[in-house]
């Protein structure tokens, strides 16, 4: 079946893998478009689709498979094909980070990632952040600080904040603002998101 | 279970039939008078609390003391649904996946003004994934003339207007198929600029009088308003002549012009629903602020009994006024479900969300204020035009009419139709616009009078709540160190500003609930009311818990379902005011039944029992106690249940304005830094002091205050719907182009609450959503004036606008 080598040139936005990083989600540069053209034009990549193909994804440590069209984004595959609806779609173009998941430990916009490009990678979603019944400290502190209102941005917000704490054990307020600079919230939870994340960092050090 | 008996059950809990919800019954069979006289705390906690008597219906729960004396109400309480939200377990309408469910896509107009000549669906229907198509006969969200009601197709009046929808097994296929529908238009001249649309020779958008239906949250202008070309209005309030005469007696007048932009709601979950049509029952999962509003509209459109329509909104991804009723999308999804014989999910995409489901109208305002030398207001006049696109209701006169004491107030509101998406209610309709003008006018008046802006407000504002809010806020922002306007040296100039909010204590008496206590000790609260992110689910758990001596987490709150008793729609900050007294009354009635059931086991009468700290005990012998669970096991029936209803507000001696009893207040202060070389404004700190009657959950209330402030800053500095005047196309329909405030723009926000008691209901609680966003844009503008000494009278205050204002000041002084 489909392998990672079949991705080159056919992915709608595969070239944006790097640009899918949360804080830079909206930064789609012209250089990326050039790269796409150079990569795809002469080599005659293997054609897949448009019919559905079987795709297997490793989500929160479990192998899952689904028959999907190659154009299906990871966000759509998670939400519809795997019924893991914790990951939200808001803008569907990398502008709001509501769909943030981790791929091999890096937060990415799953609406900007094709599901076929995520094969063979370690995908972590909001459903897989807690250890059984024990919430991740960021989740716990989001509840304690009321860092949510409607809750629709919350999964993406938490995935961004938890990723920050994976890499930075002692973040400043400014670090938290940077980590969430791609995450839009319309209810206005940012101040409490900052407080919750800083409190979680303290909790993880203790 | 063995204790269950039919012979010893008191009248309050019949066991022949399953328990049914019922109003509070007379205690121990004694007849009660229809009204009681009760004593309520009235005033502001920490300032002055007095006791006042009220005549209240006998079914009301007894008065609560002020928050300080309560165990659960008024204490910061984490959301009871927090865990579901942080783990991704919470299911929103957009998350509903049903077996065999199809996905729908809107078919929308591509031209701004046209008559539809033909619709060719043949190519769409040949697509292998095609399942069904439905075309609308009219635009349900926009205004409409009588004449066009006969038409087969909707008149096209803006780009992105919903015309129909298709469905298919995947979203991608539905999107493909929607593009195959060919529509032939006879195009007509159009206009998107309200200034141009006002002109006599402008293309006419509605031939004949047009009306837009309002919603529970507002939206839709007044009815039967005269229409001249594209101008609908004015709707006048007050006496023009009286105001003109009064201006003659003024020592000082200020006259200013203001402009505010169109703002879109940008709720993160778009409008939409999943419709599951079955021959005997339509079930809908809707992203709505009013479960019953969706039920009512679908029942009417499809000629169903309301009992045949069930609407569920367990979790809802944000609503700021635009999500009421079924909408075009809901009617389309239901038609498709019926035609395809399968459940259909229709969630709008982000572009559609920007275009066709509402926005805050723009405004063009002319304000005049006249005052005596001591600040006393003598007259105010506001003339406002705004565009609600193809909708109505762009008025902005609320604050001028209601905020200050003034003997002669005259206002005129007019709508200007344009070829743009219809407006809808948006968080405090008309008020952020109206406060933007009025509160800058008052600031300007204070300067002319050489008065401190707070001292002037102390003089002209009779709200005791805002008086206290000004005092608290001034202290926290450091008002006494505020410098004269534009006095900072160097390119970055700082300033401090203040502005005030007004909103109204609105409630909906059609608010009901059941509270049930079951033998295993479980307690349920059931109502159709929906939690749109405000945290009402948690507040209701707190109220029931307080009444039964339990913890909020002991209460299972089941809401957002029309199978439960009718709940209020959540718009206009009515929810808490409407449903919280109902919860209290029902919990109290359930408590009385419960104690009646368990009293024999404790060998006392129900009257002698108290409930607190999770225990039931005789008042005079707290040691002889049962846990709540143990006590529940002693019930002779499996379940007791009580219905709660919203009685009218208790009679109060206060007039509509005194003590702010007619309204909700709020005073906001902020500090800004303006870079005069780039024109960039940074809001550094906001102090927002608000009142909402008795705060039930201060933690949730402060979250909403933060949200109101942040939306207000976003409105003041960034947001703007931009339409291309040559094509009528909105050019910024996604979130990377339509800028809303993000983490980088966050100031420090200091949200403060005062507790104000009126003695108006069994909880005395009110909402906070709307007042929290009314003052912010004006507050930022006043702070910018204090920073740079130039008054900016239009929003968004982009760097270009700031630089232009600075340049015009230089020109003027040169």
> pLDDT tens for residues A97-115?
999 999 999 999 999 999 9
CATH no. for residue A163?
1.10.150.120
Pair B76, B124 in one domain: no
Let me know whether A108 and A163 are in one domain: no
Q: Is pLDDT at B541 greater than 50 in this prediction?
A: yes
CA dihedral over A133, A135, A136, A137, signed as positive or negative: negative
The C-alpha of B620 sits at a distance from chain A's nearest C-alpha, in angstroms, of 37
Residues in chain B closer than 8 A to A69 (CB atoms): 170, 172
Q: Which two tokens stand for residue B577?
A: 């005011």
Chain A's closest residue to B733, CA to CA, is A91
CB contact under 8 A, A83 and B350: no
Count of domains for chain A: 2
Q: Count other Cβ atoms within 10 Å, centred on residue B603.
A: 9
Confidence of residue B148 (pLDDT cuts 50, 70, 90): confident
- Among B599, B625, B645, the domain-final residue is B645
Contact call for A150 and B94, based on CB within 8 A: no
Q: List phi, psi (to 5°) of A190.
A: -50, -50
Do A186 and B711 make contact, defined as CB atoms within 8 angstroms?
Answer: yes
Q: Which of B805, B579, B607, B576 is nearest to B691 (CA)?
A: B576
Q: Are residues B183 and B311 in the same domain?
A: yes
Say yes or no for a CB contact (<8 Å) between B79 and A146: yes
Q: Would you state the structure tokens that stand for residue A154, as one six-digit string?
A: 């919350």
Tally of structural domains, chain B: 3
pLDDT in tens, B10-56: 333 333 333 333 344 444 445 555 889 999 999 999 999 999 999 99
pLDDT of residue A48: 87
Do residues B590 and B660 both lie within one domain?
Answer: no
pLDDT band at B217 (very low <50, low <70, confident <90, very high): very low
Q: How much is the pLDDT for B351?
A: 98
A93 CB neighbour count, 10 Å cutoff? 20
Contacts of B735 in chain A (CB under 8 A): 90-91, 95-96, 184
CB–CB of A152 and B269 under 8 A? yes
Given a cut of 70, whether residue B108 has pLDDT beyond it is yes
Within-domain flag for B82: yes
Residue that terminates a domain, selected from B645, B667, B685: B645
Same domain, A110 and A160: no
Is A94 in the same domain as A145?
no
- Per-position b or e across B340-374, b if 16+ CB within 10 A of its CB: bebbbbbbbbbbbbbbbbbbbbbbbbebbbbbeee
Of A72, A96, A177, the CB nearest to B744: A177
Size of interface A-B (CB pairs under 8 A): 173
- Asked if residue A142 and residue A119 are part of one domain, the reply reads no
Res A50: pLDDT: 87
Is B318 in the A-facing interface, judged by CB distances under 8 Å?
Answer: yes
User: Of A99, A125, A151, which residue constitutes the final position of a domain?
Assistant: A125
| A171 occurs within a structural domain | yes
Concatenate the DSSP letters of all residues of B114-182 into one string. EEEEEEE-HHHHHSTT--EEEE-SS-TTS-EETGGGG-SSPPB-STT-EEEEEEESSHHHHHHHHTT-E
Q: Within a domain: residue A132?
A: no
* Most B CBs within 10 Å, among A16, A144, A150, to test the B interface: A150
Let me know: does B192 contact B177? Beta carbons within 8 Å: no
* Contact residues on chain B for A76, CB-CB shorter than 8 A: 171
Q: Which has the closest alpha carbon to B322: B363, B287, B296, B275?
A: B287
Judge whether B285 and B93 are in contact, CB under 8 Å. Answer: yes
3-state secondary structure at position B224: coil
3-state secondary structure (DSSP) of residue A73: strand
Asked whether residue A11 is assigned to any structural domain, the reply reads yes
How far B427 CA lies from chain A's nearest CA (Å)?
12
Which of A69, A139, A194 lies closest to B87 in CB terms? A139
Whether B460 is in a domain gets the answer no
Mutate to test the interface with B, among A125, A186, A200 (most CBs of B within 10 A): A186
Residue B172 to residue A90, Cβ atoms within 8 A: no
Q: What is the DSSP letter of A91?
A: S
A186 and A100 within one domain? no
| Cβ–Cβ below 8 Å for A135 and B83 | yes
Contact residues, B window 254-273, toward A, CB-based 8 Å cutoff = 265-270
- Do A117 and A19 lie in one domain? The reply is yes
Residue A130, domain member (yes or no) = no
- List the single range of A43-47, A171-175, B235-239 with lowest mean pLDDT: A43-47
Q: Which residues pair with B118 in a beta bridge?
A: B184
Given A85, A100, A125, which residue is the final one in a domain?
A125
The answer on A87 and A41 residing in a single domain is yes
Structure tokens at B273: 């629903």
Model confidence at B661, in pLDDT bands (50, 70, 90)?
A: very low
* pLDDT band at B715; cut points 50, 70, 90: very high
Instruction: Flag whether B166 is in a domain.
Output: yes
Cβ contact, residue pair A151, B535, below 8 Å: no
Q: B713, B776 in Cβ contact below 8 A?
A: yes
Residue of chain A nearest B699, judged by CA positions: A146
Q: Domain of residue B613: give its range.
A: 27-32+64-90+508-645
Q: Please indicate, yes or no, if residue A120 is contained in any of the structural domains.
A: yes
Say if residue B501 is in the same domain as residue B525: no
Residues B475 and B532 in one domain: no
**E strands within A49-140?**
53-59, 62-68, 100-103, 106-109, 122-124
Task: List pLDDT tens digits, range B331-370.
Answer: 999 999 999 999 999 999 999 999 999 999 999 999 999 9
Q: How far is B89 from chain A (nearest CA, A)?
A: 6
Q: pLDDT tens across B167-196, in order?
A: 999 999 999 999 999 999 999 999 999 999
Query: Strand B667-675 relative to strand B377-386: parallel, antiparallel, unpaired?
Result: unpaired
CA distance B787 to B462: 29
Q: Range of A37's domain?
A: 4-125
Residue A97 lies in a domain: yes
Cα gap A116→A73, rounded to integer Å: 8
- Same domain membership, residue B494 and residue B515: no
Flag if A139 and B734 touch (Cβ within 8 Å).
no
Residues of A in contact with B710 (CB under 8 A): 188, 190
How far apart CA B265 and CA B287 sit, in angstroms, is: 14
Q: In the beta sheet, which residues pair with residue B312?
A: B285, B561
Q: What is the DSSP letter of A45?
A: P
Residue A45 located in a structural domain: yes
Taking 80 as the threshold, does the pLDDT of residue B659 lie above it? no
> Of B327, B356, B385, which one is at a domain's C-terminal end?
B356
Mean pLDDT within B708-734: 98
B278 located within any domain: yes
Q: Determine contact: B532 vs chain A, CB below 8 A.
A: yes
Contacts of B289 in chain A (CB under 8 A): none
Residues B514 and B551 in one domain: yes
**Residues A147 and A195: beta-carbon distance below 8 Å:** yes
Residue A33 has pLDDT above 70, yes or no: no
Asked if A150 lies within 8 A of B95 by C-beta distance, the reply is no
Q: Tell whether B693 is covered by a domain.
A: yes
* B263, part of any domain: no
Would you say residue A131 lies in a domain?
A: no
Q: Residue A149: its chain B contacts at CB < 8 A?
A: 318, 533-535, 703-704, 707
B87/A192 touch (CB, cutoff 8 Å), yes or no: no
CB-based contact (8 Å) between B698 and chain A?
no
pLDDT at B147: 82
Distance (Å, whole) CA B75 – CA B546: 11
**CB spacing of B535 vs A127 below 8 angstroms:** no
Q: Are residues B697 and B773 in the same domain?
A: yes
How confident is the prediction for chain A on average, in pLDDT?
Answer: 85
Same domain, A154 and A99: no
Nearest Cα residue to A86 out of A129, A143, A139, A125: A125
Same domain, yes or no, for A164 and A63? no
Same domain, B747 and B776: yes
* Residue B9, in any domain of the structure: no
Report yes or no on B410 lying in a domain: no
Distance from CA of A206 to the nearest CA of B (A): 22
Give residue B214's pLDDT. Answer: 64
CB–CB contact A95 B736 (8 Å)? yes
Identify whether residues B798 and B659 lie together within a single domain: yes
Contact call for B86 and A135, based on CB within 8 A: yes
* CATH code of the domain covering residue A71: 3.10.20.30
Contacts of A180 in chain B (CB under 8 A): 742-743
B181 and B103 within one domain: yes
Assess whether pLDDT exceeds 70 at residue B684. Answer: yes
Q: How do residues B281-313 score in pLDDT, each as one tens digit?
A: 999 999 999 999 999 999 999 999 999 999 999
What's the rounded Cα separation, in Å, for the pair B453 and B445? 8
Shared domain for A119 and A179, answered yes or no, is no
| Digit-coded pLDDT (tens) for B1-17 | 333 333 333 333 333 33
- Contacts A181 to B, Cβ<8 Å: 742-744
Sign of the C-alpha dihedral, residues B10, B11, B12, B13? Answer: positive
Q: Could you tell me the CATH number of the domain that includes residue B683?
A: 3.30.365.10
Interface ipTM = 0.94
Mean pLDDT, chain B, integer: 93
Out of A74, A90, A125, pick the residue that ends a domain.
Answer: A125
Q: Report CA torsion sign: B4, B7, B13, B15.
A: positive
Chain A hits for B265, Cβ within 8 Å: 186
Residues A141 and A100 in one domain: no
Q: Check whether residue A182 and residue A103 sit in a common domain.
A: no
Smallest CA-to-CA distance from B794 within B493, B492, B433, B485 is with B433
Question: Nearest chain A Cα to B710, which residue?
Answer: A188
pLDDT tens-digit series, residues B367-393: 999 999 999 999 999 999 999 999 999
Cβ-based contacts of A141 with chain B (< 8 Å) = none
Give the pLDDT confidence score for residue B566 in this predicted structure: 97
Q: Is the Cβ–Cβ distance between B24 and B592 less than 8 Å?
A: yes
Any CB–CB contact under 8 A between B580 and chain A?
no
**pLDDT tens string A124-166:** 999 999 999 999 999 999 999 999 999 999 999 999 999 999 9
User: In which element (H, E) is residue B277 found?
Assistant: strand B272-278
Residues B82, B183: one domain? no
Mutate to test the interface with B, among A191, A194, A197 (most CBs of B within 10 A): A191
The partner residue sitting opposite B91, judged by closest CB among A85, A89, A193, is A85
User: B172 and chain A: CB distance < 8 Å anywhere?
Assistant: yes
């Amino acid at each position: 079946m489909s392998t990672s080598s079949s991705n080159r040139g056919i992915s709608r936005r595969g070239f944006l893998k790097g640009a899918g990083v949360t804080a830079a989600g909206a930064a789609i540069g012209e250089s990326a478009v050039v790269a796409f053209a150079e990569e795809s034009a002469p080599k005659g990549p293997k054609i897949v689709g448009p019919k559905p193909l079987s795709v297997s994804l490793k989500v929160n440590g479990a192998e899952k498979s689904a028959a999907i069209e190659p154009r299906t984004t990871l966000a759509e595959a998670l939400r519809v094909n795997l019924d893991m609806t914790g990951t939200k779609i808001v803008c569907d173009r990398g502008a709001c980070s509501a769909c943030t998941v981790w791929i091999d430990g890096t937060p990415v916009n799953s609406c900007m990632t094709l599901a076929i490009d995520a094969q063979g990678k370690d995908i972590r979603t909001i459903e897989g952040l807690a250890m059984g019944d024990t919430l991740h400290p960021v989740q716990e502190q989001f509840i304690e600080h009321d860092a949510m209102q409607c809750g629709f941005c919350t999964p993406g917000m938490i995935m961004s904040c938890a990723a920050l704490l994976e890499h930075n054990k002692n973040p400043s307020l400014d670090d938290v603002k940077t980590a969430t600079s791609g995450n839009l919230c319309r209810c206005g939870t940012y101040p409490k998101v900052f407080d919750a994340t800083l409190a979680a960092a303290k909790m993880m050090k203790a | 279970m063995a204790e269950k008996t039919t012979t010893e059950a008191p009248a309050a809990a019949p066991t022949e039939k399953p328990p049914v919800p019922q109003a509070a019954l007379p205690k121990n069979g004694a007849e009660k008078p229809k009204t009681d006289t009760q004593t309520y705390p009235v005033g502001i906690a920490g300032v002055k609390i007095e006791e006042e008597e009220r005549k209240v219906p006998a079914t009301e729960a007894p008065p609560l003391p002020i928050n300080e004396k309560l165990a659960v109400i008024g204490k910061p309480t984490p959301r009871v649904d927090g865990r579901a939200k942080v783990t991704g377990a919470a299911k929103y309408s957009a998350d509903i996946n049903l077996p065999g469910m199809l996905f729908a896509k809107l078919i929308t107009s591509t031209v701004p003004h046209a008559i539809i000549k033909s619709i060719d669906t043949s190519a769409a229907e040949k697509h292998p994934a095609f399942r069904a198509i439905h075309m609308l006969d009219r635009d349900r969200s926009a205004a409409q003339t009588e004449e066009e009601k006969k038409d087969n197709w909707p008149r096209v009046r803006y780009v992105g207007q919903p015309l129909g929808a298709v469905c298919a097994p995947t979203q991608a296929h539905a999107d493909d198929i929607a593009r195959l529908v060919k529509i032939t238009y006879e195009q007509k001249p159009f206009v998107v600029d309200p200034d141009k649309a006002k002109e006599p020779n402008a293309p006419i958008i509605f031939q004949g009088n047009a009306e837009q239906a309002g919603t529970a949250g507002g939206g839709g202008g007044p009815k039967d308003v005269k229409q001249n070309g594209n101008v609908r209005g004015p709707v006048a309030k007050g006496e023009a002549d009286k105001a003109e005469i009064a201006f003659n007696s003024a020592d000082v007048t200020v006259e200013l012009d203001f402009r505010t932009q169109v703002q879109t709601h940008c709720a993160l979950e778009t409008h939409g629903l999943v419709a599951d049509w079955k021959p005997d029952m339509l079930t809908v999962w809707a992203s709505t602020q009013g479960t019953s509003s969706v039920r009512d509209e679908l029942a009417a459109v499809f000629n169903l009994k309301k009992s045949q329509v069930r609407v569920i909104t367990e979790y809802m991804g944000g609503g700021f006024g635009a999500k009421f009723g079924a909408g075009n999308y809901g009617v389309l999804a239901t038609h498709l479900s019926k035609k395809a014989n399968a459940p259909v999910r229709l969630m709008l995409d982000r572009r559609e969300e920007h275009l066709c489901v509402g926005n805050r109208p723009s405004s063009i305002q002319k304000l005049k204020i006249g005052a005596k030398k001591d600040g006393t207001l003598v007259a105010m006049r506001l003339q406002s035009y705004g565009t609600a696109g193809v909708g109505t209701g762009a008025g902005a006169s609320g604050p001028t009419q209601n905020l200050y004491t003034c003997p002669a107030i005259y206002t005129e509101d007019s709508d200007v139709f344009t070829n743009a998406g219809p407006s809808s209610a948006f968080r405090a309709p008309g008020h952020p616009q109206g406060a933007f003008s009025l509160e800058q006018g008052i600031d300007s008046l204070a300067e002319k009078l050489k008065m401190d802006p707070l001292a002037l407000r102390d003089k002209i504002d009779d709200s005791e709540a805002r008086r206290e809010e000004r005092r608290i806020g001034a202290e926290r922002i450091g008002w006494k160190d505020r410098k004269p306007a534009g006095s900072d040296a160097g390119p970055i100039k700082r300033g401090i500003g203040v502005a005030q909010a007004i909103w109204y204590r609105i409630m909906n008496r059609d608010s009901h609930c059941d509270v049930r206590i079951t033998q295993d000790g479980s307690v349920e609260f059931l109502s159709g009311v929906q939690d749109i992110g405000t945290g009402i689910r948690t507040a209701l758990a707190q109220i029931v818990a307080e009444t039964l001596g339990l913890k909020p987490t002991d209460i299972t709150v089941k809401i957002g379902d029309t199978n439960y008793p009718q709940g209020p729609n959540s718009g206009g900050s009515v929810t808490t005011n409407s449903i919280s007294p109902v919860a209290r009354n029902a919990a109290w009635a359930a408590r009385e039944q419960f104690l009646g059931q368990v009293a024999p086991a404790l060998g006392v009468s129900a009257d002698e029992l108290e409930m607190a700290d999770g225990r039931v005990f005789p008042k005079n012998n707290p040691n002889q106690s049962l846990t709540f669970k143990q006590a529940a096991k002693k019930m002779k029936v499996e379940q007791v249940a009580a219905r709660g209803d919203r009685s009218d507000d208790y009679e109060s001696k206060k007039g509509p304005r005194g003590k702010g009893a007619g309204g909700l207040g709020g005073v906001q202060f902020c500090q800004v830094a303006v870079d005069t070389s780039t024109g960039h404004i940074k809001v550094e700190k906001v102090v927002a002091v608000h009142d909402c009657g008795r705060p039930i959950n201060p933690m949730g209330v402060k979250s909403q205050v933060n949200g109101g402030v942040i939306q207000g800053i976003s409105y003041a500095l960034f947001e703007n719907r931009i339409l291309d005047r040559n094509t009528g196309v909105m050019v910024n329909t996604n979130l990377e182009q339509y800028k809303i405030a993000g983490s980088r723009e966050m100031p420090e926000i200091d949200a403060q609450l005062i507790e104000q008691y009126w003695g108006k209901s069994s909880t005395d609680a009110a909402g906070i959503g709307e007042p929290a966003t009314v003052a912010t844009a004006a507050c930022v503008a006043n702070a910018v004036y204090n920073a740079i000494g130039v008054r900016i009278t239009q929003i968004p205050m982009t760097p270009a606008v700031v630089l232009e204002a600075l340049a015009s000041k230089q020109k003027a002084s040169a």
